[in-house]
Amino acid sequence: MERIPILKLGPFLLVTIQIDLYDRVALNLENDLITMVSKTGAKGVLIDISAVNIVDSFMGRILGNIASMSRIMDAETVVVGMQPAVAITLVELGLTLQGVHTALDVEKGMELLKTKIDIQYGSLDEDEEEGPDDRTD
């Protein structure tokens, strides 16, 4: 069974989808990612779909599911690198990927994730004081 590799990069998980997914592989990815989030305590998930030519309603739903599940597991999801033709098609299809953060490329996605995590926890560089007072300055 084909599987999509998931790389751990500091507090983030990075997934690069480089093949056209069929449903089973997409469902496996959903499962594997959530398991990895729980196992590693990752704070962010970055999904690079720049090599994906087709996102249909099923694949769109999987991306949405991953985002909602990660959020429940206290991690943010950013989908990066969507091809323009895919974006046009998704909107006409009626799928707007609500609740999924997006960025143009991996670099911008990383920045977005970092700011999101900063807002929640204060700067990661400081000792990880996760108190609610952290966010005042």
The binding site for another protein (CB under 8 A) comprises 20, 22-24, 53-58, 60-61, 83-86, 88-89, 92-95
Smaller CB separation from another protein, 95 or 106: 95
Smaller CB separation from another protein, 47 or 97: 97
Structural tokens at position 111: 């920045």
Is the CB of residue 30 less than 8 Å from the CB of residue 62? yes
Residues 6+ apart with CB under 8 A from 51: 16, 17, 18, 19, 81
Nearest-angstrom CA–CA distance, 133 and 125:
17
Q: How far is the CB of 45 from another protein (least distance, A)?
A: 22
Q: How far is the CB of 102 from another protein (least distance, A)?
A: 17
Smaller CB separation from another protein, 57 or 68: 57
Nearest-angstrom CA–CA distance, 78 and 63:
10
Q: How far is the CB of 69 from another protein (least distance, A)?
A: 16
Smaller CB separation from another protein, 93 or 124: 93
Q: How far is the CB of 63 from another protein (least distance, A)?
A: 12
Q: Quick check: helix, strand or coil at residue 73?
A: coil
Nearest to 5 by CA among 27, 32, 24: 32
